[in-house]
A = this chain, B = another copy of it.
């Protein structure tokens, strides 16, 4: 038996699918115009957005959501301005479509090109923050994809107004508004139906916590690009510049501890531990960081708690840091291979060959030499805006910008060649 909700979700997905060839072939100029007019409309209609957001906030307060969640849910003139600015930045980025990534000629005269095309229809499931509605839709449109958005139920009123504004601009520009679909029901069953639309949706991108990731892995019949946890490491090698290491570690741990590219485990070479670690730990503790160390760490760091086995590989997302002293580079690499999540790893060293070994041996999505883990970010690495940070090796590994929302087709030109 097909429920009416199931039919509804199928219709939403099919509409996006049918509209996808249109958005795929929009000119760059037309797409940029839509992005810029949407940026304008968001500012012009900010009162309408704030009104809808107030409804969500009222509900959230009734449900006694955590203050951090309520903060992420809140839209005000300033935040609407930031979303609007984000769209203008995407408009300014080069169009990834049509790029001839490679081309060559075969001995039989066939000319082969690999040309960038959109993925088709992208489904995005996200939580709380309503800005994702516009950020994600903007990136999908610019990369020529249709998009089906399913935000958190707590942001439903905000998301619907934001979607309406975007669809109004699409209509005004003569573009089928079905290229952007907002799932308008807070019913969680909708998600279950959505991830079964493999006929109409080419890829699902979940953005959220561990339970969403697990749910997606268990239920999705559509290929998923996960945005999973970051157990990021910094290794301070024996030859590290201690001042540089300190700056990097403080930045990686303290600047924004709740994000996936924040530092979670610090590894220190035993030859530098005694001189480096006590003052480093003091600075971290001054910044409010709790240190959880192995026994050698606890001998030289006053106030360090004892790290349990489960502390290695833990994503705290908080002002807590696991610290371990290792005998050499090889042990650091093996520790990261064993406990890491393939997200982000930094080596601080003045030894070029040690850096090369670390950067070569560790196949995490971003590996850094003498720089903060916080640089695993599309904007910071120069991809322009990002849709998130993929922890799936397939298709896109690390920050995903516009290019990562595309695929390539082969375009072959001949003069009547047939296969022998």
Contacts and interface: CB of A to CB of B under 8 A. Distances in A.
A152 interface: no
A227 to B, nearest CB: 14
Interface string A78-116: 000000000000000000000000001010001010000
Interface residues of A, number: 70
B375 A419 contact: yes
Given A110-B371, A225-B394, 12 more contacts: A198-B217, A203-B394, A223-B224, A365-B410, A367-B410, A368-B413, A368-B414, A369-B414, A370-B415, A395-B395, A397-B408, A399-B410
A382 interface: yes
Sorted nearest first, the 5 A-B pairs with minimum C-beta distance are A371-B414, A251-B418, A244-B416, A374-B419, A395-B395
A392 B25 contact: no
A337 B412 CA distance: 19
Contacts of A25: 360-361
Contacts of A131: none
Interface stretch (A117-125, A264-272, A301-309): A117-125
A21 interface: yes
B106 A394 contact: no
Interface string A45-87: 0000000000000000000000000000000000000000000
A298 interface: no
A417 B371 contact: yes
B398 A410 contact: yes
B110 A409 contact: no
Interface in A151-192: none
B416 A248 contact: yes
A247 B418 CA distance: 7
Nearest to A374: B419
A118 B363 CA distance: 9
A363 B117 contact: yes
A394 B393 contact: no
A382 B248 CA distance: 46
A1 interface: no
A344 B202 CA distance: 18
B370 A414 contact: yes
A411 interface: yes
12 contacts: A106-B380, A106-B382, A203-B394, A255-B419, A371-B415, A372-B419, A376-B410, A380-B419, A394-B407, A395-B395, A395-B407, A397-B409
A331 interface: no
Most buried by B among A225, A252, A372: A372
Contacts of A133: none
A240 to B, nearest CB: 10
A416 B247 contact: yes
A223 B226 CA distance: 10
Contact of A412 (B247, B250, B371, B392): B371
A14 interface: no
Given A119-B394, A364-B409, A370 B223 contact: no
B397 A202 contact: no
A218 interface: yes
Contacts of A33: none
